[in-house]
Amino acid sequence: MRGRVDLEVPYAEKDEAKSLGARWDPARKTWYVPAGLNCQPFQRWLPAGEDEAAIELLPTVYTVESKSPCWRCDRQPRVATVAAESFISRDEPDEPVEPDLYLFSGIEFLPRELLEAMQRVNPGYRRRFSNTAGVSYYMNHCICGAQLGDFYMHSEPGGAFFPTTPQAARAICLHRLEVQARLAIAGSPSMVHPNLVLECAKRVGS
């Protein structure tokens, strides 16, 4: 028998999901299909699968740890993202990008080992629907439960993953992951110049 299946239900569609038999898990703050119930009526709310992953990360792969202010409670929780020194598009597997340090945002699919590594930095890291972006993606959460979306952290100068001074970049930590194979993800790579994260961030791991 199939176990429970977590869903990604926008707030505006929660009543429809509930009417079909979905249940709310207050601890995980997510809707889910109970064990044994047919998932077919819930197709549009099912998480992305590996078949949607368009990028394969090449060594070296990191989790990136920084801090970002919470808009709700003013804490400064640790936040995480994924980085790699090179990657290939599955559409062009023979053309890897030039080596540098690429940070990923808007991640819609992660393999289990990467997700677990991210959750070691931010235990609330999980896929949620973003009203701002209009899509579901993996995002950090504060201990108070507030969603910490990617846009500010990745795209605004001074954001958690967009340092503008060497001092700010030195507060960021790169945790090198020991991976034995290419890791497939679905997300958007970015790299800015000067790449202060590459040049100044603290590195952990062999």
DSSP secondary structure string for all residues of 112-157 = HHHHHHHHHH-TT-EEEEETTTTEEEEEEE-TT--EE-HHHHHHST
Question: Which tokens is 29 given?
Answer: 């703050």
Q: Domain check: are 152 and 107 in the same one? A: yes
Quick check: 1 pLDDT over 50? Answer: no
List the domain range (segments joined by +) for residue 177: 51-204
- The C-alpha atoms of residue 44 and residue 17 are separated, in whole angstroms, by 10
Whether residues 72 and 88 share a domain: the answer is yes
Please indicate, yes or no, whether residues 37 and 134 belong to a single structural domain of this protein.
no
Same domain, 127 and 171: yes
Backbone angles phi, psi at 66, to 5 degrees: -145, -170
Q: What does DSSP assign to residue 92?
A: B
What's the rounded mean pLDDT across residues 137-145? 93
Cα-flanking dihedrals φ and ψ of residue 132, to 5°? -65, -50
Say yes or no: 129 and 186 in one domain. Answer: yes
Q: How far apart are the first and last CA of the chain?
A: 42
Using the predicted structure, report yes or no on whether residue 206 has a pLDDT greater than 70: no
The whole-model pTM stands at 0.81
Q: Tally the domains of the chain.
A: 2
Return the sign of the alpha-carbon dihedral for residues 200, 177, 115, 143. negative
pLDDT at 104: 97
The torsion defined by the Cα of 51, 107, 55 and 194, in degrees rounded to 10, comes to: 180
Asked if residue 102 and residue 57 are part of one domain, the reply reads yes
- Mean pLDDT throughout 182-199? 91
Regarding whether 142 and 63 lie in a shared domain, the answer is yes
Q: Is the CB of residue 138 less than 8 Å from the CB of residue 149?
A: no
What's the rounded mean pLDDT across residues 50-56? 80
Q: Does one domain contain both 113 and 65? A: yes
Residue predicted with more confidence, 71 or 205: 71
Summary mean pLDDT of the chain: 90
Residues 190 and 144 in one domain: yes
